[in-house]
Structure 1
Amino acid sequence: WMYHYSTQEDYTWEQARNYCQTFFTDLVAIQNKQEIEYLNNSLPFHKRYYWIGIRKLGGTWTWVGTKKVLTKEAENWAAKEPNNRRSNQDCVEIYIKRPQESGKWNDEPCNRKKKALCYQASCQPFPCSQHGECVETIGSYRCECYPGFRGPECEDAVPCTELEPTGVHMNCSHPFGDFRYNSTCEFECQEGFERRGAGTLRCLASQRWSADTPTCTATTCPVLSAPVRGDLNCSHLHGNFTFGSTCAFSCQTGFALMGSESRECTATGTWTGDAPQCEAIMCPVLSAPERGELNCSHLHGDFAFGSMCVFSCQTGFALTGPESRNCTATGTWTGDAPRCEAITCPALSVPDWGELNCSHPHGDFAFSSTCAFSCQMGFALVGPERRECTATGTWTGDSPQCKAIKCSALATPEMGHAACSHLHGDFAFGSTCAFSCQTGFVLMGPESRECTAAGTWTGDAPQCKAISCPVLDPPSRGQLNCSHVHGNFTYNSTCTFSCEEGFVRMGAEVLHCTATGNWTRHPPVCAGTE
Structure 2
Amino acid sequence: MTASRGPLRAPPRRAFSARSLVGNLLVTLVLWLPAPTDACDEIPRYVSMKPKGNPEAPVSAGFTAEYECRPGYRLIVPLVRPTSTVCQADGTWAPPLQEICTRKSCPHPGDPLNGRVEGSTQFGSQMNYFCNEGYDLVGNSVLRCELSGNEVAWSGDPPQCNKILCKPPPQIQNGEFTNSHKDTFEYNEVVTYSCKPSGGSDPYSLVGNSTLRCSGRDKWSSDPPECKVVRCEFPSVTNGKLVSGFGTKFYYKHEVQFECNEGYSLKGSPKIVCEANATWVPEKPRCDKGSTPDPGETPSKPLGGGAIAGIVICVCVFLGLIAGCCVYLQKKKKKGETEGTAAYSTYQNKSSTPAQQIL
State TM-score, norm by structure 1: 0.23
**Higher RCO (CA-CA < 8 Å; seq separation 6+):** 2
Tell me which structure has the larger Cα radius of gyration: 1
